[in-house]
Amino acid sequence: MDVINLQEELDKRLQQRQARETGICPVREELYSQTFDELIRQVTINCAERGLLLLRVRDEIRMTIAAYQTLYESSVAFGMRKALQAEQGKSDLENRIVQLESEKKDLERQIQDLKVVMQHCY
């Protein structure tokens, strides 16, 4: 299978499987991976050294992508934890505000009571 046939086959399979053209698409990723593997196979038949180098490049790319996926997932989890902590902190602060406002009202009442007592003393 030459390069043109390989490219046509890839395009046909992308359409058949309805792969998205942009963004993250597992179908597109799988089809390109299969095509790259076939390309490596074809190159290896003609030149084993080039084929081995392409295998190393492919494996390095896969490891890099896996590392980025792990990093993304852990950053999303971290963001969710921080959002939950912020929400909890907000709730705690709102409760503290209610408590302080209640204490303020009590103190204002005490002030009024003391003013009344002072007026009776004079």
Predicted confidence at residue 49, as pLDDT, reads: 97
pLDDT at res. 75: 96
pLDDT single digits (tens) 27-62:
999 999 999 999 999 999 999 999 999 999 999 999
pTM of the predicted model as reported, rounded to 2 decimal places? 0.64
State residue 54's pLDDT score. 97
Residue 122 has pLDDT above 80, yes or no: no
Question: φ and ψ at 25, to 5 degrees?
Answer: -140, 110
DSSP string across 10-29: HHHHHHHTT--SSS--HHHH
Residue type, 72: Y
Where do we find the tokens 């007592």? 117
Beta strands of 25-72 (E only): which ranges? none
Q: Looking at residue 1, what is its pLDDT? A: 62
Among 39, 31, 76, which Cα is nearest to 58's?
39
